[in-house]
Amino acid sequence: MERLIEDENLNVEVIDISKSKNYVKELVELGGKRQVPCLDINGEAMYESKTIFQWLEEHKEELR
């Protein structure tokens, strides 16, 4: 996923939740889970890697 983001130069913020307890808190507040990967789409959490990858592929033009 990170490779797709880099290769396609997508405007997606990648956050390492191990860097701050606040990141973990925000993640849980978003979707109720401490699960990664997680893609925040307008306040809705998407968790499954395959689904996230497909979503990024489908929306890559608008994310550039």
Whose structure tokens read 């507040």?
Answer: 29
pLDDT tens for the chain, 64 residues: list them: 899 999 999 999 999 999 999 999 999 999 999 999 999 999 999 999 999 999 999 999 999 9
Q: What is the pLDDT of residue 12?
A: 97
Q: What is the pLDDT of residue 60?
A: 96
Structure tokens at 44: 């809705």
For residue 4, the one-letter residue type is: L
- In sequence order, what are the beta bridge partners of 41? 44
Cis peptide before 37 (omega within 30 of 0): yes
Neighbours of 40 (CB within 10 A): 15
Q: What is the pLDDT of residue 11?
A: 97
The span from the CA of 9 to the CA of 35, in Å, is 25
